Amino acid sequence: MQFSAEQIAQLIGGSIEGSSSVHVNNFAKIEEAGPTDLAFLANPKYEEHLYTTRAGIVIINESQELRQSVHSTLIRVKEAYSSFATLMQYYQQLQQTQLTGIEEPSFIHPTAQIGKNVYIGAFAYIGEHATIGDDSKIYAHAFIGKNATIGNKTTLHSGVKIYHECKVGNHVTIHAGTVLGSDGFGFAPQQNGTYTKVPQLGNVVVEDHVEIGANSCIDRATMGSTIVRKGTKLDNLLQIAHNVDVGEHSVIAAQTGISGSTKIGNNVMIGGQVGIVGHISIADGARINAQSGVSKSITEPNTAVTGSPAFEYGSSMRSQASYRKLPDLEKRIKELESLLQSLIKVRDSV
């Protein structure tokens, strides 16, 4: 598929500098792009590539000042990164809309409800009374259990497992290997040292416009629902335990684990490899640095924390600065002790 600079500018509301008839058919990094590629510049660190790139079209910020001539056609927008992402989404949608129909072999239970313009890949399994919304895409080897619901324009990539009774909203993307609705980690200790499994009778609810990365696990609730609310973006390799509630428009990076019944607020940002204990609350707008261990509730909105155990970001940075000075402080203490011993000897000898 080819797009002209004029078409692209209309899609993202940009202004053209250069030829409006230049055509591109692919996306590329600004330093690697060729004459038929579309690139962007948002980070000033890469500005030097703007003057050497071979890209046919480059999207830049309105505020970008040119220090020398540019060979590419430029499209100026308010936010180059966001505009480039919009174009990539548009291109992806055009590609995916070509997929419709049901491939064989696949299994669709006679009671399942399948919407319009749905794509179901080979070896997919659609269970009893499951519902698939319009324009959704279920790729090969996906599993959708009994009474599960998938909304409109939702994509389940290869190998995604949606257990029974779970609900996935509209415009959701779930990447390969992710499991929704596996049993929560519920076991009751017995007097003889064994453990009895606590039945997990709830479900998982994923609201609209959520994206979940590959090989993540979201456990079903013991009772009620484990919830991922609208607009939230989850990375690969996450563990979200039973009865967790993740608020709206939050982002969680890879290898984070959230223990049971924890409540994550709206617009929270959680870095990679964070561990969060169970039965606590994280306030709206909180920012948790990578590899932090959160052992108690964060009650103040927009708080930034780091460390293990995690505490307020500024205090933690000051503490780390002090830690680095400890060897020097130890040396100075030893010197002072030696000086003090010398003074004591002088005093005693008088």
The CATH number given to whatever domain includes residue 53 is 3.40.1390.10
Domain assignment present for 189: yes
Catalytic residue among 171, 175, 209, 242: 242
Residues above pLDDT 70, as percent of the chain: 99
Q: Are residues 83 and 110 in the same domain?
A: no
Structural domain includes residue 158: yes
Q: Among residues 72, 96, 120, which one ends one of the domains?
A: 96
Which pLDDT score, from 0 to 100, does residue 99 have? Answer: 80
Whether pLDDT at 313 is above 80: no
Catalytic residue flag (residue 242): yes
Query: Cα–Cα distance between 286 and 194 in angstroms, integer?
Result: 39
Same domain flag for 68 and 125:
no
**Same-domain check for residues 105 and 224:** yes
147 and 296 fall within a common domain: yes
Amino acid at 3: F
Query: Mean pLDDT, the chain, as a whole number?
Result: 94
- How many other C-beta atoms are found inside a 10 Å radius of the C-beta of residue 277? 16
For the chain, the maximum distance between any two Cα atoms, rounded to a whole number of angstroms, is 105
Angle of CA points 113, 114, 119, to nearest 5°? 155
Residue 346 in this model has a pLDDT that exceeds 90: no
Range of the structural domain that residue 79 is part of: 3-96
Residues 6 or more apart in contact with residue 258 via CB below 8 angstroms: 238, 239, 240, 241, 244, 246, 252, 264, 276
Q: What pLDDT, on a 0 to 100 scale, did the predictor assign at position 94?
A: 77
- Domain identity same for 201 and 75: no
Share of the chain above pLDDT 90, in %: 83
Q: What's the pLDDT tens digit per position in 330-341?
A: 888 988 888 888
- CATH number, domain containing residue 128: 2.160.10.10
267-295 per-position pLDDT tens digit: 999 999 999 999 999 999 999 999 999 99
pLDDT of residue 96: 65
Beta bridge partners of 26: 37
Please tell me whether residues 139 and 285 are part of one structural domain. yes
Judge whether residue 82 has pLDDT over 90.
yes
Q: What pLDDT digit, counting tens, does each position of 181-210 carry? A: 999 999 999 999 999 999 999 999 999 999
Structure confidence at residue 224 (pLDDT): 97
Express each pLDDT in 247-269 by its tens digit: 999 999 999 999 999 999 999 99
Look at residue 320 and tell me whether its pLDDT is greater than 80. Answer: no
pLDDT tens-digit series, residues 115-125: 999 999 999 99
Is 340 a member of any domain? Answer: no
